[in-house]
Amino acid sequence: MQTLTTIKSIKTQKEDQFTSYLGMLIALGSFSMLFVALLASYGILRSRSAIWMSYTIGTIPLFLAWVNTVVILISSITLFMASKANERENKILTLNQIYTTIIIGLVFLSLQIILWNLLIYDGFTIKSHQAGSVFYMLSGLHGLHILGGIISLIWLVFKIRVNNLILKPMRLVSMFWHYLTIVWVVIFLTVIII
């Protein structure tokens, strides 16, 4: 009788895990459609505009955007290291790496706000031209998702403090965070660099 109960429990856990991953994939697919639609709008507006942008991003804001890109890439590395520590059931290292990722995420958001202030001070605003409106819309939406990612990381810390091994929640939050890193790199390359 015990064997049958154990088999049912394992089957239920696998079904729950599949459902969780499927739900995250659907969420990431939805976010992707939103960002792709916005980037497609950006491409259409840019291709139809005779003069896309009368403003060129200054050296300091461009440098800050590069720094922010490096910062978010480092945050993905620290979260990856947290995932590996979690798989090895090293609770202290897992928590330390997640704390580092949270701090780096907050640094990213702070640098984003500083970047916005520098650009606004230089005249690169939402109302100045289409490039400004697209940039603030995309980076603002991404910033909101980063904030959601930080909240998810904080939730993960509480889960880890209660349980030693939490592979599924760790993997789901990691998927979301790495996705946000990729989205930022795409925004950076398409809107700021090109």
pLDDT in tens, 95-137: 999 999 999 999 999 999 999 999 888 888 888 777 778 888 8
The C-alpha atoms of residue 115 and residue 59 are separated, in whole angstroms, by 11
> For all residues of the chain together, what is the average pLDDT?
86
The C-alpha atoms of residue 181 and residue 168 are separated, in whole angstroms, by 20
The C-alpha atoms of residue 68 and residue 112 are separated, in whole angstroms, by 7
Per-residue confidence band for 18, with pLDDT thresholds at 50, 70 and 90:
confident
Please state, as a whole number, how many other Cβ atoms lie within 10 Å of the Cβ of residue 104.
Answer: 20
User: What is the model's pTM?
Assistant: 0.85
118: exposed, middle or buried (C-beta count within 10 Å: 0-12, 13-18, 19+)? Answer: middle
Quick: pLDDT tens for 135-159: 888 899 999 999 999 999 999 999 9
Please state, as a whole number, how many other Cβ atoms lie within 10 Å of the Cβ of residue 184.
Answer: 26
The C-alpha atoms of residue 120 and residue 156 are separated, in whole angstroms, by 36
